[in-house]
Amino acid sequence: MRTFVAFLLSVFAMAPVLAEGRKADIEKLAEAEKVMTETMSAPDKGIPRELLQRAECIGVQFGRGVFTCRQKDGSMGPPAFFTIGGGSFGWQFGGQEADLILLIMNPNGVSHLLKDRFTLGGEASATAGPVGRTASAATDIQLHAEMLSWSRSRGIFLGASLNGTVIRPHARANQEFYGKPVSGKDILVDAAVPISAEARPFVNTLSQHARRS
């Protein structure tokens, strides 16, 4: 009985922490949705729409980021939280805090995303993405890359090399958001969790810009 009571007290003590963590996750989704919206509304500088349409997964933000992957019907699925940091890129770009957008372009790139961790430029090849409204200026290397990356700081948007950056699932954030332990594969590939009302604006925005014709 004492053990059971101690367990209940532990659960109740954790509840405010989990609620606060989920609130931060919801705020991160809103920030990521805003970054994508502002990026795609830039008049001539941004991610070529053809590349978004070809992407298998899309990740947004730096530090604590969020990814979504394409489902069988072509739409983007439930979001999963990741930590993104380290390497030569650091936490800033040009002395300023920077946003990051990362496109996973093929199944091999997706397989890296499902690991416990991977390093850009190490296990996974990542290339600075082309900037513009079309992919006509993309090089052959960019068109065949596993991953393409861009950064934005003070309104300046450009392809960025992120070699050395480490990406790993944020297990605690995913558990806080979905209310149970879930893996990256559960969320991104199997879609074993629903798209919540809080995640719907982020997913809808990315589905809109990445919709295949």
Nearest residue to 33 via CA among 58, 5, 7: 58
CA distance 74 to 37: 19
Alpha helices, H only, the chain? 2-41, 49-54, 107-113, 140-143, 171-178, 184-188, 200-210
| pLDDT score at 72 | 87
Alpha carbon of 176 to those of 59, 181, 182, 188, 189: distances in Å? 19, 8, 10, 16, 19
Judge whether 147 and 109 are in contact, CB under 8 Å: yes
| pLDDT score at 23 | 86
| pLDDT score at 44 | 66
For each successive 10 residues of the chain (213 residues), what is the average pLDDT?
44 50 87 86 76 91 85 92 69 58 90 89 79 67 80 68 83 93 94 94 92 81
Maximum Cα–Cα distance for the chain, whole Å? 69
- Helices 2-41 and 200-210: crossing angle in degrees, nearest 10, is 40
| pLDDT score at 30 | 92
| pLDDT score at 97 | 63
pTM of the full structure: 0.82
| pLDDT score at 174 | 94
